[in-house]
């Protein structure tokens, strides 16, 4: 028996047998083509491109799955149509006299490698999209088959090196119950798709692929984030029990949607969804969420080859506001910089991008980009309940500078005779410790605050949130972080300003009872965590407040861990 720990992409519990999916190896003979064959190779390349485009177009037309899948297919079309990429492939054929297949293989391998090695996580995670498109082209050019899943047996769990978006969507089509992969990250396209397709998965499992044989018994524990290979009898028995409990829970969760979100003590909780991709826009209504607590607008840049113009942004924000009505959407202005520096923006490289021109600093440094967004939001504000929030605010001066731009843009629109919202609540994200410590001053001026725990933890503990080697230092429940949460909540209460939590901490079952016990009543979670979170909230009772009363800076990390992992466990793991 061997147990390997990894990262949960979508929660679930499955027991089955392993089936390895080999990384596709293409049989492309290296050879120098005769110049007389150039035309034939170009033709083969054009045919392959046309074939894949037609395949994706058809898939899009007949598409019935989640919208996020559609968006990813569209981004693959963009890769196929990328003129720069095509130029590289064509010149490899004409200048190096490589066959079209060889050229595609080499150019796509190179680009995948360079994306993977980029220090910018956002792009590095797009590497598998390029590899995916490269594989499709090679299948068309060589006439060789990609892995066929048609003979998949029920109970087989896919084991692979790294999943691509096409593979994930094929897993859903073939009812593959779960997968685990040696590599992967939470925010890759493949992972986003995994969550919208509800496929339990664990990735980032060191050495997995070589340690598993086809037919090995396998437990995929996408709750605790591990895979157990060839489990012994007692472990199998334990998981048989857990599985039964889990199935029961899953079926109860479906029934939860219609219940109001309130604790067992009768406290109303406003539970909203975070929205990254527009394509998840149906989720809040489907889940019965009280709106969208964080819309990360910078994702509009994903896979685009130009900055979104004002009209397009207006249409999109309007669509979101209308879709979420009668609830509101908290629309966060572009959080660019850090790991989300778009290739569309000519910013100078920075030695410490996370401590650099990021979030509102970036928007204030590039007013021509910021104003376009603000104008679009103000116009869309006429069509629904939009609240506007600024990321990475360090203190009041950042907020006031952003607020002034909103006012200027409103005056400008009115002077042009363009209708726009006369009132738009303005809020700040609390994700830098200085903002939490100055929360009273911020609360006096802004309309609401939302705590971004992903960054708040990173900046409080000086620990890069994307560096997996630092995981032991990235302690979300650190007393210093808990104290900043309490300080912010108290400031909001003092000035009557709502305080929500939209960072991942709110989506993590083990932290939810603590947050409710500390007095938070406004949470925004990722859609996949919505129902599990709701189930925990319904269990929270009056005794919880007493248990959590002393959590904070005055208590040690050990005491907090005892509280979370022992005393509060019955609330999230009964």
User: Could you give the residue numbers annotated as active site?
Assistant: 189, 502
Q: How far is it, in rounded angstroms, from Cα 449 to Cα 391? A: 10
* Of the candidate residues 24, 315, 454, 463, the single one contacting ligand PEP (CB under 6 A): 454
Q: How far is it, in rounded angstroms, from Cα 511 to Cα 505? A: 6
φ and ψ at residue 131, rounded to 5 degrees: -60, -40
* Of the candidate residues 200, 291, 337, 452, the single one contacting ligand PEP (CB under 6 A): 452
Nearer residue to Mg ion within complex by CB, 171 or 301 = 301
Least distance CB 481 / ligand PEP (angstroms)? 11
- Among the residue ranges 3-11, 35-43, 439-447, 449-457, the one whose residues contact ligand PEP (CB under 6 A): 449-457
Burial call 477-488: b when 16+ CB within 10 Å, e when fewer:
bbbebbbbbbbb
Nearer residue to Mg ion within complex by CB, 108 or 301 = 301
> Choosing among ligand PEP, Mg ion, none, which partner's interface includes residue 103 (Cβ < 5 to 8 Å by kind)?
none
* Of the candidate residues 16, 200, 293, 452, the single one contacting Mg ion (CB under 5 A): 452
Q: C-alpha distances in angstroms, 399 versus 388, 407, 432, 457?
A: 12, 12, 13, 21
Binding residues among 489-528 for ligand PEP as defined by CB under 6 A: 502-503
Number of residues that bind ligand PEP (CB under 6 A): 10
Nearer residue to ligand PEP within complex by CB, 41 or 339 = 339
3-class DSSP assignment, residue 11: coil
Binding residues among 545-574 for ligand PEP as defined by CB under 6 A: none
> Choosing among ligand PEP, Mg ion, none, which partner's interface includes residue 503 (Cβ < 5 to 8 Å by kind)?
ligand PEP
Do residues 65 and 165 make contact, with C-beta atoms less than 8 angstroms apart? no
**What interhelical angle do 127-142 and 189-196 show, nearest 10?**
90
Nearer residue to Mg ion within complex by CB, 115 or 390 = 390
Which residue spans within 241-353 are E strands per DSSP?
270-275, 292-296, 328-332
* Of the candidate residues 431, 482, 485, 499, the single one contacting Mg ion (CB under 5 A): 431
- H, E, C per residue of 415-434: HCCCCCCCCCCEEEEECCHH
CA angle 71, 73, 79 (to 5 degrees): 105
Q: Which residue has the tokens 């009056």?
A: 542
> Choosing among ligand PEP, Mg ion, none, which partner's interface includes residue 216 (Cβ < 5 to 8 Å by kind)?
none
Least distance CB 316 / ligand PEP (angstroms)? 18
- Among the residue ranges 220-228, 441-449, 450-458, 564-572, the one whose residues contact ligand PEP (CB under 6 A): 450-458
3-class DSSP assignment, residue 438: coil
Do residues 538 and 265 make contact, with C-beta atoms less than 8 angstroms apart? no
For residues 200 to 239, the per-residue mask of contacts with ligand PEP, x marking binding by CB under 6 A and - elsewhere, is ----------------------------------------
Indicate whether 121 belongs to the interface with ligand PEP (CB under 6 A). Answer: no
* Residue 315 neighbours by CB distance under 10 Å: 14
- Among the residue ranges 111-119, 228-236, 451-459, 560-568, the one whose residues contact ligand PEP (CB under 6 A): 451-459
* Of the candidate residues 164, 431, 489, 515, the single one contacting ligand PEP (CB under 6 A): 431
**What interhelical angle do 83-96 and 100-117 show, nearest 10?**
130
Nearer residue to ligand PEP within complex by CB, 398 or 431 = 431
Indicate whether 455 belongs to the interface with ligand PEP (CB under 6 A). Answer: yes
Indicate whether 296 belongs to the interface with ligand PEP (CB under 6 A). Answer: yes
Copy the structure tokens of residue 552: 């904070």
Residues 6+ apart with CB under 8 A from 322: 383, 384
Do residues 88 and 117 make contact, with C-beta atoms less than 8 angstroms apart? no
Nearer residue to Mg ion within complex by CB, 398 or 455 = 455
Phi-psi group of 224: left, alpha or beta (phi > 0 → left; psi -120 to 50 → alpha; rest → beta): alpha
Least distance CB 427 / ligand PEP (angstroms)? 13
Least distance CB 85 / Mg ion (angstroms)? 32
Nearer residue to ligand PEP within complex by CB, 219 or 502 = 502
Indicate whether 455 belongs to the interface with Mg ion (CB under 5 A). Answer: yes
Binding residues among 326-385 for ligand PEP as defined by CB under 6 A: 335
- Among the residue ranges 377-385, 441-449, 450-458, 490-498, the one whose residues contact Mg ion (CB under 5 A): 450-458
| Cα 545 to the center of its chain, rounded Å | 31
Which residue spans within 417-563 are E strands per DSSP?
426-430, 448-451, 499-501, 522-525
Q: How far is it, in rounded angstroms, from Cα 490 to Cα 482? A: 12
Q: C-alpha distances in angstroms, 441 versus 54, 444, 487, 488?
A: 57, 5, 12, 11
Nearer residue to Mg ion within complex by CB, 21 or 436 = 436
Least distance CB 312 / ligand PEP (angstroms)? 22
Nearer residue to Mg ion within complex by CB, 461 or 563 = 461
3-class DSSP assignment, residue 213: coil
- Among the residue ranges 88-96, 239-247, 452-460, 483-491, the one whose residues contact Mg ion (CB under 5 A): 452-460
Tell me which H or E stretch contains 204.
none
Indicate whether 453 belongs to the interface with ligand PEP (CB under 6 A). Answer: yes
Q: How far is it, in rounded angstroms, from Cα 115 to Cα 95? A: 24
Indicate whether 280 belongs to the interface with ligand PEP (CB under 6 A). Answer: no
- Among the residue ranges 71-79, 429-437, 478-486, 542-550, the one whose residues contact Mg ion (CB under 5 A): 429-437
Copy the structure tokens of residue 188: 């890759």
Least distance CB 120 / ligand PEP (angstroms)? 14
Indicate whether 249 belongs to the interface with ligand PEP (CB under 6 A). Answer: no
Q: What does the binding site for ligand PEP look like in residue numbers (CB under 6 A)? A: 294, 296, 335, 431, 452-455, 502-503
Residues that bind Mg ion (CB under 5 A): 431, 452, 455
């Amino acid at each position: 028996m061997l147990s390997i720990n990894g990262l949960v992409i979508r929660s679930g519990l499955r027991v089955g047998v392993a089936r390895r999916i080999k990384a596709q190896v293409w049989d492309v003979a290296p050879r120098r083509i005769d110049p007389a064959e150039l035309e034939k190779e170009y033709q083969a390349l054009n045919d392959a491109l046309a074939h894949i485009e037609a395949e994706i177009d058809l898939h899009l037309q007949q598409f019935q799955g989640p919208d996020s899948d559609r968006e990813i297919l569209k981004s693959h079309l963009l890769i196929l149509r990328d003129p720069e990429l095509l130029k590289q492939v064509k010149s490899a054929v004409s200048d190096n006299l490589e066959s079209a297949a060889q050229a595609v293989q080499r150019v796509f391998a190179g680009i995948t490698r360079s994306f993977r090695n980029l220090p910018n996580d956002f792009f590095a995670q797009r590497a598998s999209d390029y590899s995916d498109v490269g594989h499709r082209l090679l299948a068309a050019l060589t006439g060789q088959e990609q892995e066929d899943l048609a003979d998949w047996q029920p109970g087989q769990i896919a084991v692979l090196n790294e999943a691509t978006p096409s593979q994930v969507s094929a897993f859903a089509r073939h009812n593959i119950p779960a997968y685990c992969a040696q590599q992967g990250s939470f925010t890759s396209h493949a992972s986003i798709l995994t969550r919208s397709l509800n496929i339990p998965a664990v990735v980032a499992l060191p050495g997995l692929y070589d340690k598993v044989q086809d037919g090995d018994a396998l437990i995929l524990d996408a709750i605790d984030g591990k895979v157990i290979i060839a489990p012994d009898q007692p472990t199998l028995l334990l998981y048989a029990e857990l599985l039964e409990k889990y199935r029961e829970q899953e079926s109860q969760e479906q029934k939860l949607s219609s219940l109001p979100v309130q604790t067992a003590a009768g406290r109303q909780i406003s539970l909203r969804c975070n929205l990254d991709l527009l394509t998840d826009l149906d989720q809040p209504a489907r889940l019965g969420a009280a709106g969208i607590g964080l819309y990360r607008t910078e994702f509009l840049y994903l896979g685009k080859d130009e900055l979104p113009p004002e009209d397009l942004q207006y249409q999109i924000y309007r669509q979101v506001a209308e879709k979420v009505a009668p609830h509101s959407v908290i629309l966060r202005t572009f959080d660019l910089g850090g790991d989300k520096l778009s290739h569309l923006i000519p910013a100078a490289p920075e030695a410490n991008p996370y401590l650099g021109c990021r979030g509102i600093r970036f928007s204030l440094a590039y007013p021509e980009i910021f104003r376009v967004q603000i104008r679009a939001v103000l116009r869309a504000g006429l069509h629904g309940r939009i609240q506007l929030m600024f990321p990475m605010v360090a203190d009041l001066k950042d907020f006031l500078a952003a607020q002034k731009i909103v006012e200027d843009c409103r005056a400008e629109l009115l002077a042009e005779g363009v209708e726009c919202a006369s009132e738009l609540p303005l809020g700040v994200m609390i994700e830098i410790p200085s903002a939490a410590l100055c929360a009273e001053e911020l609360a006096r001026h802004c309309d609401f605050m939302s705590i971004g725990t992903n960054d708040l933890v990173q900046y409080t503990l000086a620990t890069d949130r994307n560096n997996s080697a630092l995981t032991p230092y990235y302690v979300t429940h650190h007393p210093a972080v808990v104290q900043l949460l309490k300080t912010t909540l108290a400031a909001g209460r003092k000035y009557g300003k709502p305080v929500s939590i939209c960072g991942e901490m709110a989506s993590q079952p083990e932290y939810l009872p603590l947050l409710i016990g500390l007095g938070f009543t406004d949470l925004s979670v990722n859609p996949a965590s919505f129902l599990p979170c709701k189930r925990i909230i319904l269990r929270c009772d009056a005794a919880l407040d007493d248990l959590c009363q002393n959590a904070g800076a005055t208590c040690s990390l050990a005491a907090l861990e005892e509280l979370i992992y022992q005393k509060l466990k019955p609330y999230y793991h009964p």
